[in-house]
Amino acid sequence: MSNLQLPKWRFIDESMTAKNRSALESFAMDDTLCHLVGQKMSIPTVRTWVHDETIVLGIQDHRLPHIDEALPVLQEAGFKTIVRNSGGLAVVLDEGVLNISIVLSEQEGSIDIPEGYEAMVEFVRMLFPEVADQIEAYEIVGSYCPGTYDLSIGGRKFAGISQRRLRQGVAVQVYLCVEGSGSERARLIRDLYEIGLQGKQTKFSYPDIRPEVMASLSELMNEPLTVGDVGIRVQLLLRALSTEEVQIGGFTPEEMEHYLFYLNRVVERNQKMLARG
């Protein structure tokens, strides 16, 4: 049975409400959901979220030899920057990028890492049945934050998948470039690495960004798809995957206490990491 075909799903939509908040809050949200779902304090959950212009840097990005010269260039382009305390490299968030988190529990049985990734690939294919057979999962060389489970159509990447594991909960996250220009986003990250490296040799190998290998879904599907359209598709898909009514809504007061704990932890870790340089 698919990990996605479940009796009941919970849906938390933050595609509008999270826009002006720091992306650090989204990391805290997913940590909280890992705890709640992993410990059976909540049913399996899907969360959608959008943040205004933000570049989320990985730890290795923050170690670029000329990072202090690169960050002002991103800020001049209108982007905030934050550093996430986990694996992966820089990604772009903006109003045309929809992030989806699927949070599952390992209490009934472990979900290995490939299985978590495959669940998200399956979910995305179900979201876009008209191009499902064209969506491939393999590393797109020249993309930003490259990985084995890059999602592409015709060799052009529109999504990347990551995972977070905590307290027997597994959060599988995807960023979907829905609207706008995928290559424009890639140029921002190319600038980050060109200015941040300035030709210096480093122990860590940073990607050589080729903007033409990235695109948005609206570009690839040749239709004016919006983040709102995809949000509706997510809700309809969850209804189809559930045998009971989908539970919709944010955190209860008790769950908010857990969230405040994880938010404080995320912010403190971020400050310590930035202080270490």
pLDDT at 85 > cutoff 80:
no
CB 137, CB 68: distance < 8 Å: no
Ramachandran sector of residue 238 (left: φ over 0; alpha: ψ -120 to 50; beta: rest):
alpha
Say whether 34 is catalytic: no
- Per-position DSSP letters for the chain, written without gaps between them: --TT-BS--EEEEETTTTTTS-HHHHHHHHHHHHHHHHTTSS--EEEEE--SSEEEE-HHHHT-TTHHHHHHHHHHTT-EEEE-SSSS--EEE-TTEEEEEEEEE-TTS---HHHHHHHHHHHHHHH-GGGGGGEEES--TTSSS--TT-EEETTEEEEEEEEEEETTEEEEEEEEE-SS-HHHHHHHHHHHHHHHHTT---SS------GGGB--HHHHHTS---HHHHHHHHHHHHHHHBSSPPEE----HHHHHHHHHHHHHHHHHHHHHHHH-
**Rg value, the chain, Cα:** 18
91: β partners: 56
Q: What is the mean pLDDT of residues 200-224?
A: 94
Q: What is the mean pLDDT of residues 161-166?
A: 92
Q: How far apart are CA 56 and CA 84, in angstroms?
A: 7
pLDDT at 2 > cutoff 80:
no
Q: What is the mean pLDDT of residues 204-233?
A: 95
pLDDT at 199 > cutoff 90:
no
Q: Between these two residues, 86 and 271, which has the higher pLDDT value? A: 271
Q: How far apart are CA 123 and CA 102, in angstroms?
A: 9
Q: Say which of 67, 119, 145, 225 is annotated catalytic.
A: 145
Q: Tens digits of per-residue pLDDT, 13-65?
A: 999 888 889 999 999 999 999 999 999 999 999 999 999 999 999 989 989 99
Band (pLDDT 50/70/90 cuts) for residue 1 is very low
pLDDT at 146 > cutoff 50:
yes
Band (pLDDT 50/70/90 cuts) for residue 276 is low
150 phi/psi in degrees, rounded to 5: -65, 140
- Average pLDDT taken over every residue of the chain: 93
